[in-house]
Amino acid sequence: MKDSGKRYVGLDVHKHYLIALGVDEDLNIVLPARRVEFSYLETWMKKTLTQQDAAVLEMTTNTWQLYDELVVYAGSVMVVHPPHVALITRSQVMNDTTQKDDEYGHPGEEPPACGAAETSSAASRR
């Protein structure tokens, strides 16, 4: 999903996957909540992220590895404390492994969309 407009992408990071959700400048959901297994992360980033995107990454044990991978594809990446992305961390995720997995290694049905987190450019912090 590549658009020319600015998007804000929130990432809720777990041990083996992350949940991504994107909104535009008017807070319209432009990237529905999606579970992305880390084994498919690079494929997802190449197909989904653009230099117009601003990503929010929560602080975890593997934050800086993920930051280094994301900054190649997104225009900016901001690292935040998890409570600052509370709306995304409360997102419901479908974990039914009996369904056919899609190209990103998660169940075929997408989780319900949820709210979005605010972000600002992290380019000056690189």
> What CATH code is carried by the domain that includes residue 94?
3.30.420
- Please report which confidence band the pLDDT of residue 97 belongs to, taking 50, 70 and 90 as the band edges: very low
DSSP letter assigned to residue 15 = S
Is 14 within a domain? yes
Long-range contacts of 94-99 (CB under 8 A, 24+ apart): 94/35
Residues of the domain holding 45: 7-120
Distances (CA, A) of 25 to 37, 80, 97: 27, 20, 34
Is 73 within a domain? yes
pLDDT at residue 12, as a whole number: 87
Is 126 within a domain? no
16, pLDDT greater than 70: yes
Is 21 within a domain? yes
42, pLDDT greater than 90: yes
User: What average pLDDT does the structure give for the chain?
Assistant: 76
Is 86 within a domain? yes
Stated pTM of the model: 0.63
Structural domains counted in the chain? 1
